[in-house]
Amino acid sequence: MWEKLAQLEEEHRELEALLSDPEVLKDPKRYQALSRRYAEMGELVEAGRAYRKALEELASARELLSDPELKEVAKAEVEALEARIQELEEKLQVLLLPKDPVDERDAIVEIRAGTGGEEAALFAGDLLKMYLKFAEKMGFSTEILDSHPSDLGGFSKVVFEVQGPGAYGVFKYESGVHRVQRVPATETQGRIHTSTATVAVLPKAMEEDLRLNMDEIRIDVMRASGPGGQGVNTTDSAVRVVHLPTGIIVTCQDSRSQIKNKEKALTILRSRLLEMKRAEEQEKLRQHRLAQIGTGERSEKIRTYNFPQSRVTDHRIGFTTHDLEGVLEGELFPLYEALKRADQERQLAELVNDAA
C-alpha cells in the first residue's frame, strides 16, 4: 500500500504543477480532465498523509512508554493512535478500490411504466420528479430527451440526461424494478394496488467510445404524439432510430426540431450499445455479475415505496426508511450512501477472496 500511496502522491504533485501550466490553461478540455482527476485524488492523498503522520506519532508515543513519569499518558495516546490508524487503514482500503472509469460520466436515465396501467404511468411520473429533484440537490443539471405522457399526467416512458462529473456513479444504483403500493387516483373503492416502473441507467457514450455505422441504422420521421402541447401533431419533428443488427429502437419527440431529436436519439442509441458491450465484457470476466449491487438488471425488483406505512425499502441491502415523503422530494442521499457502502464492502470482500 505504501508504494501505491507514494505513486499517487507523486501524481497529485505533477497534476498540481500541470494545472498552473499556461499551455494547459489554453486547452479547456484537458484542463477540465486534469482538474477532475486532481479533485478525485484529493481525499485519498489527504488520508495517506494523515496515515503516515499517525504512524510517526505512534512510534514516538511508544518510545515514551519506557518513561515512568509519562507511561500512563503515553499508553492512552498509543491506544488512541492505534484506533485512528485502524480507521485510516479501512478508509484507505475503500479509497484505493479500483474505480469504474464511466462513473465520472453523464448519465442517461430511462423510466418506463410497468404493470398497473395508468397508475404505473403516474408512478413513473413520480419517479421522474424525484430524480430531477435529487439531481438538483447533488449539483447536477438535467435535460429531458424523450417523453411519452399519459392522459392523467404520468408517463408511459420518459428519458432524461443527468449532466455533471460523477452523475453515472450516483445514479447507477437506481437501475431495476421499482414497486409502489398505494391507493391509486383511479381507484374508487379505496383499495391498495401494487404497480411497478422500470428504471434503466446508462453511462453517456462518447463518439470515440463507439462509432455508429449509419448503414446499419434506419431513421424514420413522423409527427409527434401525445396529449396537448404546441407542435404536437402539426410537424414531422419526431424521430425514430432503428439499429438493424440488434433491433434496438429509439424515439425522440420532445424537441420541435427534427435535427435535435435525431441527435438525442443517436446519443441514446450509442449509450445503449455501449452498455450492451460493457455487459458482455463483464459477463466474460465475472460469472457472478448478477450478485453485484446496481447491475442494472431490469428484472431485479430493487425497491418498494409503501404509502400506507410511509415506508421505502431497498431490497438489495435491506435498507428501510419511513421518510417516504422526503424520498419522493429527492432526499435520496441516505439511500445512495448505503448502496455505495454496500458496493464497496462487496468489492473489498472480493479482493480478500481473490487473495486467499
- Residue 12 confidence (pLDDT): 87
Written as nine digits, the cell of 166 is 460523477
Written as nine digits, the cell of 159 is 428519458
For residue 297, the one-letter residue type is: E
User: Residues near 54 by Cβ (< 8 Å), separated by ≥ 6?
Assistant: 81, 84, 85, 88
Contact 157, 145 (CB under 8 A): no
Alpha-carbon distance of 122 to 253, in angstroms, equals 20
For residue 66, the one-letter residue type is: S
- Residue 235 confidence (pLDDT): 60
Mean per-residue pLDDT of the chain: 84
Confidence at 5, pLDDT banded by 50, 70, 90:
confident
- How does DSSP assign 135-195, residue by residue? HHHTT-EEEEEEEEE-TTS-EEEEEEEEESTTHHHHHGGG-EEEEEEE--TT-SS---EEE
229-255 pLDDT, tens per residue? 444 445 667 888 899 998 889 888 877
65-114 pLDDT, tens per residue? 988 888 899 999 999 999 999 999 888 888 887 778 788 889 999 999 99
Q: Please state the rounded mean pLDDT for residues 243-268.
A: 86
292-350 pLDDT, tens per residue? 344 434 456 899 999 999 999 999 999 999 999 999 999 999 999 999 988 888 887 77
**Residue 146 confidence (pLDDT) above 80:** yes
Alpha-carbon distance of 148 to 278, in angstroms, equals 28
- Residue 354 confidence (pLDDT): 58
* Phi/psi of residue 95, nearest 5 degrees: -65, -25
More confident: 231 or 36: 36
Closest CA to 196 of 214, 182, 207, 186: 182
Contact 108, 142 (CB under 8 A): no
Contact 334, 326 (CB under 8 A): no
Written as nine digits, the cell of 223 is 409527427
More confident: 344 or 351: 344
* Phi/psi of residue 145, nearest 5 degrees: -95, -35
Strands 301-306 and 141-149 come out as unpaired
Alpha-carbon distance of 153 to 121, in angstroms, equals 8
The DSSP call for residue 1 is: -
Closest CA to 165 of 118, 215, 99, 224: 99
Coil vs helix vs strand at 91: helix
More confident: 278 or 160: 160
Question: Rg of the chain's alpha carbons, rounded to an integer?
Answer: 25
Q: Taking the complete model, does pTM exceed 0.85, yes or no?
A: no
Helical axes 2-18 vs 28-63, angle rounded to 10°: 140
**CA geometry: angle at 132 spanning 121 and 33, to 5°?**
135
Coil vs helix vs strand at 299: coil
